[in-house]
A and B are shown apart, each in its own frame.
Chain A
Amino acid sequence: MPKVAKRRILAGVHFMNGDEAIAEGAIAAGCTFFAAYPITPQSEIAERMARRLPQVGGVFIQMEDELGAMAAVIGAAWGGAKAMTATSGPGFSLMMENIGLAVMTETPCVVVDVQRGAPSTGLPTLVGQGDMMQARWGSHGHYEIIALSPSSPQEAFDLTVKAFALSERFRSPILLMTDEVVGHMYERVEIPEEVPIAPRRKPEVPPEEFLPYRPTEDLVPPMACAGDGYRIHVTGLTHDERGYPAMDAEAHDVLVRRLCEKILRFREEYTWYEETMTEDAEVLVISYGISARVSLGGVELAREKGIKAGLLRLITIWPFPDEVVKQLAERVGGIVVVEINLGQIYREVERATGGRVPMRGVFRAGGRIHTPEEVLAGIEEVLRCRS
């Protein structure tokens, strides 16, 4: 057998699908542990990780289910690894309890959901965007979590790298909410020569002085991993700064508020979006993921007909970019939300704009993407209801 120690970063131009781009993005970002359970349309991520991770000194393990996959990822993160799992709707449901554990214990990790038609087994091989609210509220309790949504394989690569950086920055699980079409679509993906590995925040004081859950100024505590010599206790129970269980309402309030605030206070660091033809727009189309690409087609059709339409493509979905949406909404006469569910992000837009702008939803339950004509019809409809 030839000795081929493969590179971490496969710099250059590739023709790959979104799933593969996610795998390469993870490895480039320094991911050395991947645990998952096979599910369509995620399997290409797992298969690529199985091939690539041993090449770069990492570990791939196919777990017995997604409950175990998510738990293993959290364990690996405490072992010092950058860790990721990937799944689709049914598996995402199974991961929810442990995503909450990662939130509560402040464990950096990345969770990918390649969405398919749902509920239940639904349409295993066909597209959906119906897990967006589950991403927000799927685990029990009140928490904040960052979720990103790519519209192309290139962006799938880029956002995976960013997701790892955010997970270390905020010591939090980061969700990459993609979909079957982006996952399976082959496109040009350019991988840069250099991809920085986000550092883990380590304690700066000796073990005797270290309080594992005492936040620094930006509300994120440094992390002492297993074997670092700090011998800390980590629990999903409500805990104090020592990490010890604290079974009272006050401690709970302090902790839950901080966990939310550490994410919310720094929104400008990760609130990404893209505006196209919005300067003079009278109708604003809001979309994300694969639906945003189709929406651009609809906006172009509208422009050809002389309708001033523009597109706001959301890249960061959670925390919802209220301000961005609100400010743009002030300038337009109508909003169209395009998504492959029956109105999950629509409700967020409605909430952010206070219902002051006429709205139309262009929804599909799942199974296929929209056509630009369907988006155009939505644009024309919202114009009609305005006049």
Chain B
Amino acid sequence: MPVLKPRPKPTPEILPGVRHPLEKYLRTDRLPHIWCSGCGLGIALSSFLYALEELEIDPDSVAVVSGIGCAGRFAGYVRLDSYHTTHGRAIPFATGLKLAKPELTVVVFSGDGDLFAIGGNHFIHAARRNVDITVLCVNNFNYGMTGGQVGPTTPVDGRTTTTPYGNFEHPFNLVYLAASAGATYVARWTTLHARRLKESIKEALRHPGFNFIEIISPCPTNFGRRNRLGDALDEMRYYAEKAVIRHGVDPAGAEVVPGREFIVGKFVDIEKPTYLELYRRKVGELFGR
């Protein structure tokens, strides 16, 4: 596993009086978290928090919105204004929050099922509108929280508790979906690529409009175990072997198929007027506001 940028003070094990390096952004009083050991969610979270730190973002100016699921618990661990909403509704909640308080940086942090099954409609419409939010999706190819059921990213033949004979459905290619719905920044990383992920999150946070990053992540407890992917480290080795870093590739061909190489990197980075820009322009013309 790649080591994150060394901190001035190392993360202590049991050292009294030593502070957590991310304390500024992390609800340390809620630790230990509920996630399984080997789960990729912690890496995704720390990549995000280091991105905030390196951008020197005022913690009072960021809000995190999550839906429901293991990934949905992100909101509970950040020492920020944070909202743990209902299953699938993080994006419309974030839309309301952003439009009511445009000076906030609004980040949606949630799972593949939350954002693309029950919340899929909101995703494509927020991307279409180019609402100024950053959506970070931890894709673990199944519903971790509810015990490992099939989801919209489970590969064909994937074993889950509700596909005991293997999955008969085709999965979404999330980066292609995001790009075609109108997202202006689209990237994919795995939790192996923690530093690149962090840099990508920094880019997204500075990029106006609807930004999307897919974070492929091990779920050793459910998807990993049922699909014989070994433990979390084996899965990291798998990412190291199969993930090919390329930028600017057409996302249409960037499917993730088990056993085959898959592309990570930045797919889309374009400028387009955001919802609020268009709104303000018109209201300014009409009413001089």
**Most chain B CB neighbours (cut-off 10 Å) among A4, A79, A228:** A79
Q: How many A-B residue pairs have CB under 8 A?
A: 153
B162 at the interface (CB under 8 A from A): no
Knowing A76-B97, A244-B76 are in contact, say whether A227-B92 is a contact too (CB < 8 A): no
Please encode chain B, from 86 to 124, with 1 for each CB lying within 8 Å of some chain A CB and 0 for all others: 101101111111111101100000000000000001100
B256 at the interface (CB under 8 A from A): no
**Option from B80, B91, B96, B286 in Cβ contact (under 8 Å) with A35:** B96
A-binding segment of B3-11, B60-68, B143-151, B193-201 = B60-68
B83 at the interface (CB under 8 A from A): yes
**Most chain B CB neighbours (cut-off 10 Å) among A55, A63, A81, A228:** A63
Knowing A3-B288, A227-B60 are in contact, say whether A69-B92 is a contact too (CB < 8 A): yes
Q: How far is the CA of A74 from the CA of B60 in the complex (A)?
A: 20
Instruction: Determine whether the beta carbon of A236 is less than 8 Å from that of B86.
Output: yes
A33 at the interface (CB under 8 A from B): yes
Q: How far is the CA of A57 from the CA of B98 in the complex (A)?
A: 15
Instruction: Determine whether the beta carbon of B289 is less than 8 Å from that of A5.
Output: yes
Instruction: Determine whether the beta carbon of B99 is less than 8 Å from that of A61.
Output: yes
Kindly report which residue of chain B lies nearest to residue A207, judged by CB atoms.
B60
Chain A 52-89 residues near chain B, CB threshold 8 A: 54-55, 57, 59, 61, 63-65, 67-69, 71-81, 83
Knowing A65-B121, A231-B81 are in contact, say whether A76-B86 is a contact too (CB < 8 A): no
**Option from A3, A71, A231, A233 in Cβ contact (under 8 Å) with B96:** A71
Knowing A54-B286, A232-B81, A233-B75 are in contact, say whether A80-B100 is a contact too (CB < 8 A): yes
**Option from B76, B100, B122 in Cβ contact (under 8 Å) with A233:** B76
A206 at the interface (CB under 8 A from B): no
**Option from B85, B103, B121, B287 in Cβ contact (under 8 Å) with A6:** B287
Q: How far is the CA of A236 from the CA of B286 in the complex (A)?
A: 40
B84 at the interface (CB under 8 A from A): yes
Kindly report which residue of chain A lies nearest to residue B68, judged by CB atoms.
A236
- B117 CB → nearest A CB, Å: 13
Instruction: Determine whether the beta carbon of B92 is less than 8 Å from that of A83.
Output: no
Instruction: Determine whether the beta carbon of A75 is less than 8 Å from that of B84.
Output: no
A1 at the interface (CB under 8 A from B): yes
Instruction: Determine whether the beta carbon of B84 is less than 8 Å from that of A237.
Output: yes
Instruction: Determine whether the beta carbon of B287 is less than 8 Å from that of A74.
Output: no
B30 at the interface (CB under 8 A from A): yes
**Option from B63, B99, B288, B289 in Cβ contact (under 8 Å) with A226:** B63
Instruction: Determine whether the beta carbon of B81 is less than 8 Å from that of A230.
Output: yes
Instruction: Determine whether the beta carbon of B81 is less than 8 Å from that of A68.
Output: no
Instruction: Determine whether the beta carbon of B99 is less than 8 Å from that of A68.
Output: no
- A338 CB → nearest B CB, Å: 37
**Most chain A CB neighbours (cut-off 10 Å) among B96, B104, B288:** B96
**Option from B85, B101, B283 in Cβ contact (under 8 Å) with A101:** B85
Q: Which residues of chain A have C-beta atoms less than 8 A from B56's C-beta?
A: none
Instruction: Determine whether the beta carbon of A235 is less than 8 Å from that of B76.
Output: yes
B279 at the interface (CB under 8 A from A): yes
**Most chain B CB neighbours (cut-off 10 Å) among A59, A75, A225, A229:** A75
Instruction: Determine whether the beta carbon of A68 is less than 8 Å from that of B27.
Output: no
**Option from B83, B91, B92, B288 in Cβ contact (under 8 Å) with A234:** B83
Instruction: Determine whether the beta carbon of B104 is less than 8 Å from that of A226.
Output: yes
- A215 CB → nearest B CB, Å: 20
Kindly report which residue of chain A lies nearest to residue B125, judged by CB atoms.
A64
Q: How far is the CA of A76 from the CA of B285 in the complex (A)?
A: 25
B221 at the interface (CB under 8 A from A): no
Instruction: Determine whether the beta carbon of B93 is less than 8 Å from that of A74.
Output: yes
Instruction: Determine whether the beta carbon of A74 is less than 8 Å from that of B96.
Output: yes
**Option from B76, B94, B289 in Cβ contact (under 8 Å) with A75:** B94
Q: Which residues of chain A have C-beta atoms less than 8 A from B99's C-beta?
A: 33, 59, 61, 72, 76, 79
Q: How far is the CA of A229 from the CA of B58 in the complex (A)?
A: 10
Q: Which residues of chain A have C-beta atoms less than 8 A from B30's C-beta?
A: 244
Kindly report which residue of chain B lies nearest to residue A85, judged by CB atoms.
B96
Kindly report which residue of chain B lies nearest to residue A5, judged by CB atoms.
B287
Instruction: Determine whether the beta carbon of B75 is less than 8 Å from that of A75.
Output: no
Kindly report which residue of chain B lies nearest to residue A100, judged by CB atoms.
B86
Knowing A4-B286, A75-B95, A235-B75 are in contact, say whether A98-B89 is a contact too (CB < 8 A): yes
B171 at the interface (CB under 8 A from A): no
B38 at the interface (CB under 8 A from A): no
**Option from B79, B96, B104, B288 in Cβ contact (under 8 Å) with A5:** B288
- Give 18 new A-B contacts, CB below 8 A, not counting A68-B121, A69-B92, A231-B82: A33-B96, A54-B279, A54-B282, A61-B99, A63-B95, A64-B125, A67-B122, A71-B93, A75-B95, A75-B96, A76-B96, A101-B85, A101-B89, A227-B101, A228-B81, A231-B81, A234-B83, A244-B76
| Leading 5 A-B pairs by shortest Cβ distance | A79-B100, A75-B96, A72-B96, A68-B92, A79-B101
23 contacts between A and B (CB under 8 A): A3-B287, A4-B286, A59-B99, A59-B279, A67-B88, A68-B122, A72-B93, A72-B95, A72-B96, A72-B99, A75-B65, A75-B97, A76-B99, A80-B101, A97-B86, A101-B86, A226-B97, A226-B101, A231-B60, A234-B83, A234-B84, A235-B83, A237-B84
